[in-house]
Structure 1
Amino acid sequence: MNAFHPIDVILHKRDGLALSDEEIRGFIRAIVERTPDCQLVTDAQIAALLMAIFLQGLDSRELATLTSAMRSSGDVFDAAPLKTFMVDKHSTGGVGDKTSLLIAPILAAAGLAHLTDEGVPGICVPMISGRSLGHTGGTLDKLETIPGFNSQIDLKQLAETLRICGAALIGQTPRIVPADRTLYALRDHTGTVESPFLITASIMSKKLAESLNALVLDVKVGSGAFMPTYERSQQLATLMVETGEAAGTHTVALLTGMDEPLGRFSGNWVEVWECVDIMQGRWHPMSADLIELSNILAGWMLHLAGRAPSPEAGSEMADSILRSGDAYKAWLRIVQAQGGDISVFEDPAAHHKPAAKRVLKAEQTGYLSSMNCKQAGWAVQRLGAGRTKPGDPVSAHAGIESHVKLGSRIERGQALFTLFSEDEALLEEPEQMLRAALSIGQTPPKLLPLVREVVSTESIQRQK
């Protein structure tokens, strides 16, 4: 092996040259192996390479190698002993996006209905989730409002939970893709967060560490999406699908609308409450879009797992599982297996205890024609439900309830949102932010479908 010189790697990428597999693997290895006494590569050098990648990009081989090197930088889940089909879903993040809380138990119920010869669910969902940051919510913050719920289980405990329940909802441990922790922290400080190549490597390395057979990606588009334009979201979806397929994981991406908060509630406990209501058969009109998207994504997962002949048939199967109560039974098994107190689900509304709330009312009559969904997400964050930097505490009971959706007919004085917080002083700014985010027109707007596009290997080939 040639001697590793980080400056050579930086200069090669800075000058627009393709990095060799050896250069990429050497750089990632140097990041993980460095110690306070032995700095094979410095933070300054890592930051320089991040900026070079941000400006020059990566070709498909480089991206696949970077993702693979990051995946292998720490522990990788060994799914082979389970002898089951491993499938997961990942969302690029949005406001009120709580589909994971419905999809995991839907797939778990489907897997439990088809046990393997070893008595393991025929489908397993090893869902590694993240925390809220910026205007987007985090699945772990929602789950951890359940008393006793433990999201920080190790890979041995993950295997046992999957064996019993068919799904697990966990956080990234320090030993899963440790290279990403260093790169992510420096991206946040070097203006390189928005690189689609670095985003792809970060997301896909963690998902591929689950040893998946298939992956469904929910890539958001619209005013609340992470990527600024539809074209950038398309590019990100394409890169992730190509990277997943190159790693041997059947990958499909759906571009879905994030022009308004998804479902009825946006926050932490309130989103758990909404999902529990749905699984218990209490379907609120404001949750219709959440139910639709969850069934669509679960349908694709069931199709890729071979349980449904088409995504549409899979969606119908998911809806049936949700309505039957089987998803709720699977949910209780998962929560109990991870230490959660399931008694709070007997009356989830009673567990919602904000110290202060305020109703935002319409100042004119018309139709809700548009919304700056990112602004709405920041309002939820300012109420205390989110964080501005990793490590910030979040409120369990802060958030908003939506009383209208895009296209709704609105009368002057009608309730549009209810704001919740654990501090009365935090209500004023979010109320003004929400009011500024809304546009009320005199004619009904043209509404776009929830799923805008499906990106797959076949669709990518047609584009070429």
Structure 2
Amino acid sequence: MIPQEIIRRKRDGDELDAADIRSFIAALAAGRLSEGQIGAFAMAVWFKGMSRAEIVALTLAMADSGDRLQWADIDRPIADKHSTGGVGDNVSLMLAPIAAACGLAVPMISGRGLGHTGGTLDKLESIPGYRITPDADLFHKVVKEAGCAIIGQTGTLAPADGRLYAVRDVTATVDSIPLITASILSKKLAAGLETLVLDVKVGNGAFMADRGKAEILAQSLVEVANGAGVKTSALITDMNQPLADSAGNAVEMRNCLDFLAGRKRDTRLDIVVFAFAAEMLVKSGVAASPDEAEGMARQALSSGKAAEVFARMVSMLGGPPDLIENPDRYLARAPVEKPVPAARSGWLSACDARGVGVSVIDLGGGRRHPADRIDHRVGFSELLPLGTRVNAGEPIALVHAADEAAAERAAAALAMHYRITEDRPELTPVIAGLI
């Protein structure tokens, strides 16, 4: 196998056969390809696309580049959820323990921030001691005993995807349907799932800003996953504003803990969490209808059972057992917190969600290069949702920054990302469709 020949053929629009794709991915996993070759391949795929057969071959090759997990000794349905990435999207952190509290086993393999979007692993790393890459035995033990475990890719689980994922982040090749499909599903196939629910974001803060393209991606994911033997569906959700009222790492973790502890409810996040919980429970056969499933999920949350699952997972993976009760004891706070005043009176009518995500990176809460260190303290909290009436000078958010200058820059940038109008806006529903 000559890597540059495979790159050239894809660059020229040829369809690669499965054997060539397997050879290329095997070389990638073994470290025999340079970052330049990986980036060139990703860019060729971005421009020329892939057929469904190529996507299936790429997905299977990446899934087979390492170990495949087995769950034969767990008598619960093995299920998971994955998001294509958004701003203020910390759904997984609440959903996994809720689903586990309702009787599912959730081995959730998550990723870091990609482009302007936040990463579940980066949020979890704001918890002191939390091990995002446990060995396979501990991962299995946590899933079996706690009901869920949210971790990152280990060196033996879809290792080819781990290297390709990092290069995509810095080569403007994130928003490629074949690469997104193969990246997401290779991890899920390697994780030994029986059912999967996908959150495909659409809007200015998503990788797919166009509804039609989001539906194409959702269809690609659902068809490839079902074809590989995993019962899969996808919800298309709105990403034209941050999903939660926080965007960052520690600030989103606080949001999660408040949600699980019952200190926060009735937000757009609430709608999405319970919609996915219902879909997971019905898809896995635990509930007979969406209404029954949502009722089970809400009971798991209100009873405190989901919080107990989360606390056990955190403790077993090295974090503090009383994190939910005492978040301020463990989650670092930024030294500067500054309100962002509304520029005028009126209705918050539009948001550049991507811009909000980029502003988090500018604060130090994301990466420009794969090796960059993240400042987990920084970000935005208390973001007001669109459709809120504000008066001039009232805060629309709170900036968390490392110093006063960074806070000033971030506050000015965030104010520019929101449009305030005299007329009340018509808002799009947070759940846009099901595939």
TM-score range, shorter chain: over 0.9
Q: Could you tell me which residue of structure 1 aligns to residue 398 of structure 2?
A: 418
Q: 1:9 to 1:223 in 2, by over 3 A?
A: closer
1:297 is matched by which residue type in structure 2? F
Aligned-partner SS, 1:88: strand
Determine whether 1:165 maps to 2:157: no
1:6 Cα shift? Answer: 4.2
Q: 1:291 to 1:157 in 2, by over 3 A?
A: same
Counterpart among 281, 289, 297 of residue 302 in structure 1: 281
- Tell me the distance in 2 between the aligned counterparts of 1:192 and 1:269: 28
1:138 Cα shift? Answer: 1.3
Q: Could you tell me whether the CA contact under 8 Å between 1:142 and 1:271 is conserved in 2?
A: yes
Q: Could you tell me which residue of structure 1 aligns to residue 334 of structure 2?
A: 354
Structure 2: segments with no counterpart, 5+ residues = none
TM-score by length of 1: 0.88
CA offsets, 1:178-223, max 9 Å, x none?
A: 2223333444565433221112111111121101101111111112
Counterpart among 73, 84, 87 of residue 95 in structure 1: 87
CA offsets, 1:336-368, max 9 Å, x none?
A: 111111234323246553211111112321111
Which shifted more, 134-143 or 5-14?
5-14
Q: Could you tell me which residue of structure 1 aligns to residue 173 of structure 2?
A: 192
| TM alignment of 1:363-442, pairs within 5 A | 363-442=343-422
TM-score by length of 2: 0.94
Counterpart among 44, 59, 69 of residue 51 in structure 2: 59
Q: Could you tell me which residue of structure 2 aligns to residue 219 of structure 1?
A: 200
- Tell me the distance in 2 between the aligned counterparts of 1:231 and 1:189: 26
Q: 1:400 to 1:14 in 2, by over 3 A?
A: closer
Aligned-partner SS, 2:150: strand
1:88 is matched by which residue type in structure 2? D
Aligned length: 434
Q: Could you tell me whether the CA contact under 8 Å between 2:114 and 2:169 is conserved in 1?
A: no
Aligned-partner SS, 1:276: helix
Q: Could you tell me which residue of structure 1 aligns to residue 319 of structure 2?
A: 340
Q: Could you tell me which residue of structure 2 aligns to residue 462 of structure 1?
A: none
1:44 Cα shift? Answer: 5.4
1:279 is matched by which residue type in structure 2? L
Q: Could you tell me which residue of structure 2 aligns to residue 84 of structure 1?
A: 76
Root-mean-square deviation over aligned CA pairs: 2.1
2:46 is matched by which residue type in structure 1? F
- Tell me the distance in 2 between the aligned counterparts of 1:94 and 1:42: 29
1:15 Cα shift? Answer: 4.4
Q: Could you tell me whether the CA contact under 8 Å between 2:350 and 2:386 is conserved in 1?
A: yes
Determine whether 1:290 maps to 2:287: no
Percent of counterpart pairs with the same letter?
Answer: 41
Structure 1: segments with no counterpart, 5+ residues = 36-40, 112-122, 456-464
Q: Could you tell me whether the CA contact under 8 Å between 2:170 and 2:369 is conserved in 1?
A: no
- Tell me the distance in 2 between the aligned counterparts of 1:236 and 1:45: 25
Determine whether 1:448 maps to 2:431: no
- Tell me the distance in 2 between the aligned counterparts of 1:339 and 1:365: 47
1:107 Cα shift? Answer: 1.2
- Tell me the distance in 2 between the aligned counterparts of 1:353 and 1:413: 25
Q: 1:108 to 1:441 in 2, by over 3 A?
A: same
1:229 Cα shift? Answer: 2.0
Determine whether 1:275 maps to 2:256: yes
Q: Could you tell me whether the CA contact under 8 Å between 1:133 and 1:389 is conserved in 2?
A: no
1:311 is matched by which residue type in structure 2? P
CA offsets, 1:67-116, max 9 Å, x none?
A: 001100112212233343111111111111111111111011112xxxxx
Determine whether 1:146 maps to 2:138: no
1:253 Cα shift? Answer: 1.0
Which shifted more, 10-19 or 255-264?
10-19
Which shifted more, 97-106 or 338-347?
338-347
